[in-house]
Structure 1
Amino acid sequence: MELRLLVTFEKVATVLSFTRAAAELSYAQSSVTSQIRALETSLGAELFDRLGSRIRLTEAGERLLPYARQIIELTEEARAAVTEPEEPSGTLTVGTMESLTSYRLPPLLEFFHHRHPKVRLALRTTIGDETRQALRQGTYDVGFLMEEETEHPGLQTAVLAVEPLALVAAPGHALAGVPVATADLTGRPLLATEPGCAYRDLFERELSALEPVEFMEFGTIEATKRAAAAGLGIALLPEVTVAAELAEGSLVRLAWQAPFTLRTQLAWRSGKRLPAHARLFVEQARRLVSEQG
């Protein structure tokens, strides 16, 4: 089996599209198709089921995929051991989320911009399951998670900081300045970002134990903050995202203690040897993000 055929197979298996794989590998689509056929011929087995415009892995393809990834990673590790430059360089695809990109990552991004300009950071905004899946598939090199759990199958993680949460509302809200129990929140307008965000989902779990919950969804943290400040309802958000508004008084913090704890984490695929620029990113994320938290 030729390495280039395995690289093409792994890419097609990851994105499940000959067209997209060709674009990401800078090949003509016909070249990708011919390489997959050559690999199937050499193995004597079909690797993909063609379902009209869609494809999926066959059982043989499913069995081959982990071996292909191991071979590719070992090849990259061998190449890096011989040719890795003293100055880290290369592209690092990073899964992140709005709250971290805006409020936690600027010192880390500034560090790489000024100290290591040869490292290109490609930030991709996803949350939760999407980030974990992209890491397992190799679409992302590393990814930030804000989760209650710190162990994720198929991933290795570094916990960077506990992420405090704040339940906020507009000044003058009926619950401002008094102790607040979860039962006090039932029947009140609630604001939230999109489903899949860990703190929103955990908040919904707590409230749903008492009664069905409906959120007014605003998509982004900034929009949710503005809606809360305008008196449209109550929102649970990472404390770091509302610190400025709490300081200036456009939002107030309600005296409710979240019964769960979130941790900001950096994750990558288990068993993957990170190249020098990725190891540097993990090291500096540990230092710079942890210092803030």
Structure 2
Amino acid sequence: MYQLRTFREVARLGSFTKAARSLGYAQSSISAHIRALESHVGFKLLQRMPHGVRLTAAGEIFHDHALRIFHVMDEMASALNPTGEMAGRASVGASALLLESRVGSLVRECRYRYPHVRVSPRQLSISGATEAVRTGSVDVALVHGDHGVQEPLPVGVMVRELPPIEVVPVGRTALARAGDRAQALAGARVLVVDPDCVSHQVLATTLREAHGVDAPLVEAGSVGGARELARSGYGVAMLPVESMCGGEECYGLAVVPGLPRVRLGVRALWSDQAMAAVAAVCGVAERVGRERQPVEAVEFA
């Protein structure tokens, strides 16, 4: 059905690019859907033009029957769920930073908007997100950073860009207030939350090049672990600005001046065979991301 929906949108707009923008997919996913359909029916459905696409003769026939299928599906959905309320279950895997900063709000918002949709969250590694979706281990994967962005997604895995997340260098308050910051940073360690995230590498590079500190990387395992280690003075962690109590200081922690703030892209991945509840959860994830954006974000170049 997702492939048919993609075909219908491409036919309506006459463009892969416009269809990708309309559906929130990567253009490579649109192309993969159309190739799969053409392979299945054994006919070319779309003719590529210099400025878009148009239906072939076979595509016209296919399009007519696809619209009938959607009509029958709508009738079936109405018969099965006469109240029209969204229902179902969505297992959501999220990278550690997103699990800490956004998933709680996602669960609450889904509960409010879709009382009959049950969201089951779990932590997921960034590098394992695509495979988890492909194999059905999770229905939706929410990940940040650029790990695997340049690699083509497997056929059947869809992607949607979500509002970015900003992470900031966080350490104990005494470190942030130190008059001689170079001396205060001399024994610093970089606390790693997500091994696949680029932000701790950016922090380590800045410490080395700007402050002459060759800081070792220490895996903290979670945002909570990194926060406690930073509070004890063990090191500096790149944590979501959204989690900093709305200010520069937060329960013994503070943003350390002179170190980089990094804005990271966020993506939702899901299977093209997913139920409607999954698409609803992705929509809520985008809304939550927009609402959690800081008023003034500093982008690291």
> Which category describes the TM-score, using the shorter chain as reference length?
0.5 to 0.7
Task: Tell me: CA distance 1:201–1:134, structure 2 relative to 1, closer, same or farther (3 Å).
Answer: farther
Partner of 2:278: 278
Task: Tell me: CA distance 1:179–1:189, structure 2 relative to 1, closer, same or farther (3 Å).
Answer: closer
Structure 2 distance, partners of 1:132, 1:185, is: 37
Task: Tell me: CA distance 1:234–1:247, structure 2 relative to 1, closer, same or farther (3 Å).
Answer: closer
Secondary structure of 1:219's aligned partner: coil
Partner of 1:144: 142
CA contact (8 A) 2:168 2:262 kept: no
Give the unaligned 5+ runs of structure 1. Answer: 1-66, 72-76
From 72, 75, 91, give the equivalent of 1:93: 91
Partner of 2:3: none
RMSD over aligned CA atoms reads: 3.8
Task: Tell me: CA distance 1:251–1:260, structure 2 relative to 1, closer, same or farther (3 Å).
Answer: closer
Partner of 2:22: none
Relative to the length of structure 1, the TM-score reads 0.60
Cα deviation 1:51-84 (Å, max 9, x = unaligned):
xxxxxxxxxxxxxxxx9xx99xxxxx98965633
CA contact (8 A) 2:249 2:255 kept: no
Partner of 1:228: 230
Q: Which moved more, 1:77-86 or 1:127-136?
A: 77-86
> Does structure 1 residue 83 correspond to structure 2 residue 82?
no
**How far 1:286 moved relative to its partner?**
1.5
Count of residues in correspondence between the two structures? 218
Structure 2 distance, partners of 1:282, 1:171, is: 37
Task: Tell me: CA distance 1:173–1:160, structure 2 relative to 1, closer, same or farther (3 Å).
Answer: same
From 116, 123, 126, give the equivalent of 2:124: 126
Task: Tell me: CA distance 1:194–1:208, structure 2 relative to 1, closer, same or farther (3 Å).
Answer: farther
Secondary structure of 1:261's aligned partner: strand
Structure 2 distance, partners of 1:134, 1:201, is: 25
The aligned runs of 1:147-226 (5 Å cut-off) are 147-148=145-146, 153-154=152-153, 155-173=157-175, 176=178, 188-193=188-193, 195-204=195-204, 213-226=215-228
CA contact (8 A) 2:92 2:141 kept: yes
Q: Which moved more, 1:253-262 or 1:200-209?
A: 200-209
Task: Tell me: CA distance 1:290–1:185, structure 2 relative to 1, closer, same or farther (3 Å).
Answer: same
Structure 2 distance, partners of 1:205, 1:93, is: 36
From 115, 120, 139, give the equivalent of 1:117: 115
